[in-house]
């Protein structure tokens, strides 16, 4: 009881959190923005496939209406408050193997933010040219315009400083291809007050950390781990198996090269791939000697 009384004494009886700034109406903002600015409105109805099962492993984003948009827990002017207000950014990370619905989940969240009147933009790596450079496309065909850049540090300049300052939400797809992911997300959320939603592979075909996706987990408000279906048995798939003998880490391809598998079939499948690679290498050596 004494400890509780001391804790209560540390805080004023009434704390008035500063009101979060009102976000501009999406339709009015988009209509006033230059046509070259890649903010976008969603159509009235987008037909999404059935929602994949989401399994948050750290934190939870919660419904939009229950999120705390301003994290300044000190009332303005209170002791310990060095500034009048703080940025209210957020970072949400979506990870999983290939074919788990990461891009679909990202687009659902972007759509929800847009419908709530927030200005949004999406960026992907220019390394991914499978469906063109001006859009992100899910494996089931949902398409959305985006910025395609080699580095996230180029995003502010490409968008324009004024447009960037008015932006509320940034979506990042195929995040494993951005080497500056950590610095960009930290600055966008901590300093600029942006909500950043990141989707990417947490592991490569060897089940090793892929790019900087796992590096931003300590920065994240929430992390969602998605699973696919094992193509060999139908169980939950946590891993991506490469079906060919290429050994480069970054090999951008689709179902012709990769498939989602469970642990059992990853281990057995990887053994088959490695045995095949050994046979091919041995055959190549014999041909060279001959």
Q: Count other Cβ atoms within 10 Å, centred on residue 142.
A: 17
Beta partners for 93? 198, 223
CA angle, corner 207, sides to 205 and 208, nearest 5?
Answer: 105
Of the residues 90, 113, 174, 231, only one is catalytic, namely 174
Which of 204, 205, 201, 203 has its CA nearest to residue 273?
205
Whole-number Å distance between alpha carbons of 81 and 89: 18
Whole-number Å distance between alpha carbons of 96 and 176: 12
Whole-number Å distance between alpha carbons of 172 and 155: 11
Q: In the block, which residue shows the tokens 């209210």?
A: 88
Q: Residue 58: phi, psi to the nearest 5?
A: -145, 120
Q: For this structure, is 187 an active site residue?
A: no
Which of 165, 167, 218, 222 has its CA nearest to residue 199?
222
Beta strands 54-58 and 258-261 are unpaired
b/e per residue, 20-37, with b = 16+ CB within 10 A? eeebeebeebbeebeeeb
Give catalytic residues, as residue numbers: 174
């Amino acid at each position: 009881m004494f400890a509780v009384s001391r804790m209560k004494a540390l805080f004023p009886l009434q704390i008035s959190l500063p009101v979060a700034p009102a976000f501009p109406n999406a339709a009015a903002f988009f209509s006033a923005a230059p046509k070259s600015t890649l903010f976008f409105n969603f159509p009235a109805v987008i037909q999404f496939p059935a929602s994949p099962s989401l399994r948050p492993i750290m934190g939870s984003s919660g419904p939009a209406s229950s999120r705390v948009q301003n994290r300044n827990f000190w009332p303005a002017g209170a002791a310990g408050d060095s500034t009048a207000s703080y940025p209210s950014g957020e970072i949400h990370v979506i990870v999983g193997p290939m074919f788990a619905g990461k891009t679909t989940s990202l687009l659902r969240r972007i759509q929800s933010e847009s419908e709530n009147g927030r200005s949004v933009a999406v960026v992907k790596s220019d390394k991914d040219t499978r469906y063109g450079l001006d859009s992100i496309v899910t494996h089931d065909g949902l398409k959305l315009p985006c910025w395609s850049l080699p580095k996230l540090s180029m995003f502010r300049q490409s968008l324009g400083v004024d447009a960037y300052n008015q932006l509320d939400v940034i979506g990042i797809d195929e995040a494993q291809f951005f080497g500056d992911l950590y610095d960009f997300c930290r600055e966008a959320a901590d300093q600029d007050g942006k909500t950043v939603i990141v989707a990417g592979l947490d592991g490569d075909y060897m089940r090793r950390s892929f790019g900087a996706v796992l590096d931003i987990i300590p920065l994240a408000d929430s992390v969602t781990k998605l699973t696919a279906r094992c193509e060999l048995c139908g169980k939950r798939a946590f891993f991506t198996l490469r079906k060919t003998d290429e050994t480069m880490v970054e090999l951008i391809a689709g179902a012709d090269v990769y498939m989602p598998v469970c642990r059992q079939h990853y281990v057995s499948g990887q053994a088959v791939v490695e045995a095949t690679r050994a046979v091919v290498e041995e055959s190549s050596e014999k041909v060279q000697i001959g």
